[in-house]
Amino acid sequence: MIYDIALRIRHRYATPASLGRHLVRLMPTDRPGAQRVLNGQLDISPAPDERTERVDIFGNATTDFAYRGTLRAIALDLHVRVERLAPQAPRGASLSLCDMPQALAGIASLAPDAPVHFMAPSPFVPRDATMAAYARARVAPHMTARAAVLAVGGALHADMRYDPEATEVDTPASEAFAARHGVCQDFSHILIGCLRGIGIPAGYVSGFLRTNPPPGRPRLEGADAMHAWVRAWCGPEAGWMEFDPTNDVEAGEDHVTVARGRDYGDVSPVRGVMRGAGRQSSEHAVDVVPLGA
């Protein structure tokens, strides 16, 4: 499936802000076996005084840009055409939960995809005994990691209410979990906390969802903005699987990946520091349309 994706972000400052410096992760990259970027462009207005493109440690395309003078608004416009390949069956069998510790101890690698990055607590997903207990109650030691992800993810989807008004970007996952509500970011952080709590390395994926579902299928939650879901490591043979707890589905042809990391902090689409920026307003719109639709 080939998509034309358009993302539009507008930031406005009530008072002129100076010395702005930003870091954005918006551009999807090639992910062998999953997606290919056919062409893409990120326009930034007004034109920044500095702009650098680079790739971060997790392989995400990162754009740094900065202004010297003052400005009142920033506009970001992304246009990208991506081919999303049909998901493939797992390469091999998932390990059972009780075999995970030994498999993890045997992996002597700090490569970007090595599971070791995704086991420890991370800034947005601190160690959380409540989440671990929630997950433990829904799995058994001989269950495969893959089955555990589906079981815990499904349980979360059933127990939690999707509510775009309930949380902010900096609401702690534990708070969203206690109230059993939130948006894709909360669902994902909570699932990551649950999975790490039962010994499954888990990370965060930011990306886009197809805006209008194929005929006869329900519309997915989170399609009107950037979306987030979870990847989990199921052993050296099965490798990584991706699961979308907000919609209780494995990530498939409707999901286009932008960035991967341990949690939101590693992939945050727009990070910025301005001096003297007072109140600001922002708007954010996404359109993901199959080619020829």
The verdict on 117 binding another protein (CB under 8 A) reads yes
Compute the Cα dihedral for 158, 160, 164, 168 and give only its sign. Answer: negative
Structure tokens at 60: 């995400």
The verdict on 68 binding another protein (CB under 8 A) reads yes
Instruction: Tell me which stretch binds another protein (CB under 8 A): 21-29, 73-81, 192-200, 222-230.
Output: 21-29
Count of residues interacting with another protein (CB under 8 A): 29
The answer to whether 145 touches 238, Cβ cutoff 8 Å, is: yes
The verdict on 15 binding another protein (CB under 8 A) reads no
Of 76-105, which residues contact another protein (CB under 8 A)? 104-105
Q: What gap in Å lies between CA 56 and CA 71, rounded to an integer?
A: 28
The verdict on 64 binding another protein (CB under 8 A) reads yes
Give the max Cα distance, the chain.
Answer: 60
Half-sphere exposure of 76 (CA within 13 A, CB side): 23
In the stretch 215-254, what mask flags binding to another protein with x, by CB under 8 A? ----------------------------------------
For the CA atoms of 123, 231, 207, 27, the dihedral, rounded to the nearest 10 degrees, stands at 80
Instruction: Tell me which stretch binds another protein (CB under 8 A): 51-59, 155-163, 189-197, 209-217.
Output: 51-59
73 versus 116: smaller Cβ distance to another protein: 116
50 versus 159: smaller Cβ distance to another protein: 50
The verdict on 19 binding another protein (CB under 8 A) reads yes
The verdict on 11 binding another protein (CB under 8 A) reads no
The verdict on 51 binding another protein (CB under 8 A) reads no
DSSP 117: G
The verdict on 116 binding another protein (CB under 8 A) reads yes
Q: What gap in Å lies between CA 144 and CA 238, rounded to an integer?
A: 11
Q: What gap in Å lies between CA 252 and CA 256, rounded to an integer?
A: 8
